[in-house]
Amino acid sequence: MIVKTLILLCLLFNIQAQELDSVEFLQWHLQKSELYTNSKKYIKRLKNRVKRNEIIGLELISAEASDERVESKFGHSLFRFVDNDNDPGNDITISFVADVDGPKASNLAGVVGKYGVYPEVKSLRLFVKQYVKDQSRPLERYIIPASSEMIDSLIVTLDLWWEELLSSRKEIYLESLSNARKEAQLKGRELFGEDGFEIFELKFFDTENQIDMTRSFGIVQKGDLPYLDDTQRDKALYLQAYQRSYDELYLKEDEVFLNLFGELWKIKKNESILSIMNHDINVATKEAISHFGHSEIKLFRIVDRNLQESGFYALTKEHLEKLDILKKVEISLLVKNLRVKSAASEGLGKYTFFSNNCAGAVIKFLKKSNFPHKRTRGIQGRVPVKLHKWMSRSLLVPYPSFVIDGAQKLRNKIARILGFSAKEFLDYRFPEHQWSIISKYISNEDKFLFYDLYASKLPASYIEMVRREITGLEAPDYNQIYNIKLSENKLYTLCTNKECGSEVKNLLKKYWNKKEIKKVKKLIDRTGNNTFIYSGLKSRPEVLNHLKALKYLESDFGE
């Protein structure tokens, strides 16, 4: 078993090494830096809201399970800080995710704990887009009654973990910079000899640190004349990559190639390809339109091995789609990217699917902040869609859930209108002639939601029909159409007396039926009836007093 695991790990790292020096990998890494920048911005915003006493409550949010990825099969857990501005969409929310080190996450790495855990922080509205709109996964909200001191302790923990992550990222960067420089030198000597090459830093503006930072090293073969600056080296880097790809095509007299900048295509000469020997793109465009009789054309610059331009090839888009491509060659820049290792904080640790996943990170978040907690995690503390049960057993979630399901309700309604089952509706392709049927039986509010859900997914002609129907109508509130309900502030507070407890119990009856309330109370009863009371459950006396005020716990519990 150990040998098999080692073999799999070797395969994993070899695959990543092959992808590491691609331009795509570098682009992904730059995009990932943006995620850190955004989270940093939202954490700062959250801390300011806490300082101004604008945070009135906490929620656990659970995303429905999905078959889209391995880690999604058990759902996902989010942690929400509810503020007092009556716009739930802008509430700051945390998602603990794997800090992957490449464009494609590895399932194996998620099992063995290769990735760190990273707090992705953004607004609830953005998470609604991610899960409800884009992935069709309803979100369940579970209120966590808490005091201001408890909220403050969470911010202290988040601040600590964030600083640990930033420190880890800085160390990783400096180590990666040194290693990439050495690897670039070795690669240059291997290809061009001891003195036949130069390396230079490829820098990009880092929005997180607001400075230019080296993300890669370019490796260029020395020319007849020395390079005067990095601009010349940069041009040589592309030219040499282009020439390697050009030579690999082995063009014959009856063949030409199309230059797509990142790729070269070798094709047979044929009558559908028009050669225009003019450098001016406007002149070339007019000549192509005149020749083909319409404007649905595509131009490709004609360049020789030294990137000297001599005109354009013109094809219709129809011919381009039917083109017989003899060979494709990627133009691969000779670069050595910094090896981006996953950062990890001491508190959050490494991500694993079945233990330190999003649910495990939420539990660590609560424990570190001295929230009541069970001694053991069990299955409920490991599976995100069951985490609310663990939290009820830990005396933290005493109420049933609210569900953000406006989109799901609309999809179900459309399925019923058209006579489909929920499963059949997944494959529905929305033929335009059926919009009149759908439109007849859904409300104007639903039409706005339909437009928001499908504007980027359906043909422009279909969406234009929907847009015409809602133009001139008063647009409903975003939170309203997605069913992101406001909750009574009282539900987020901790009671200290029976009067407050009675008031909260009356509110519960307003939102949920007896069966739903009893189901959650039963989970708390299982903890309350234990003979031995674990000390972690007594870490916040104010929580115990709240549950006693609700008569969920006996008055002598914890004493």
Q: What is the pLDDT of residues 351-361, one digit of tens each?
A: 887 788 999 99
Indicate whether 5 pLDDT > 70: no
CB 303 within 8 A of CB 310: yes
- pLDDT at position 10: 34
Q: Report the phi/psi class of residue 551: left, alpha or beta, with left for phi > 0 and alpha for psi in -120 to 50.
A: left
Between residues 104 and 69, the one the model is more confident about: 104
Between residues 502 and 555, the one the model is more confident about: 502
Residues 63-97: pLDDT tens digits?
998 666 555 668 899 999 999 999 999 999 999 98
DSSP state of 539: S
* End residue of a domain, out of 432, 450, 482: 482
N-to-C CA span, the chain? 49
Between residues 155 and 228, the one the model is more confident about: 155
- pLDDT at position 295: 78
Residues 58 and 141 occupy one common structural domain: yes
Indicate whether 336 pLDDT > 70: yes
- Rounded CA gap, 35 and 41, in Å? 10
Residues 476 and 368 occupy one common structural domain: no
Nearest to 56 by CA among 487, 499, 462: 487
Lowest mean pLDDT among 71-85, 129-143, 145-159: 71-85
> Chain centroid to CA 382: how far?
21
Residues 34 and 144 occupy one common structural domain: yes
Sheet holding 309-316, edge to edge: 274-276, 309-316, 297-303
DSSP state of 350: B
Nearest to 283 by CA among 269, 299, 268, 272: 299
- pLDDT at position 317: 86
* Per-residue confidence band for 437, with pLDDT thresholds at 50, 70 and 90: very high
Lowest mean pLDDT among 16-20, 55-59, 211-215, 465-469: 16-20
Residues 94 and 153 occupy one common structural domain: yes
Residue 281 included in any domain? yes
| Angle of the 23-51 helix axis to the 2-20 helix axis, nearest 10 | 100
Residues 415 and 451 occupy one common structural domain: yes
Residues 359-382: pLDDT tens digits?
999 999 999 999 999 999 898 999
Q: What is the domain extent for residue 228?
A: 174-237
Residue 310 included in any domain? yes
Gyration radius of the chain over CA positions: 30
Strands 263-268 and 325-330: antiparallel
- pLDDT at position 427: 86
* Per-residue confidence band for 502, with pLDDT thresholds at 50, 70 and 90: very high
∠ CA 108-112-116, rounded to 5°: 100
- pLDDT at position 114: 76
Residues 474 and 500 occupy one common structural domain: no
- pLDDT at position 68: 62
* End residue of a domain, out of 294, 312, 331: 331
* End residue of a domain, out of 358, 384, 400: 400
Residues 192-244: pLDDT tens digits?
999 999 999 988 887 767 788 888 899 999 988 889 898 999 999 999 999 99
- pLDDT at position 102: 64
- pLDDT at position 22: 63
Q: Report the phi/psi class of residue 250: left, alpha or beta, with left for phi > 0 and alpha for psi in -120 to 50.
A: left
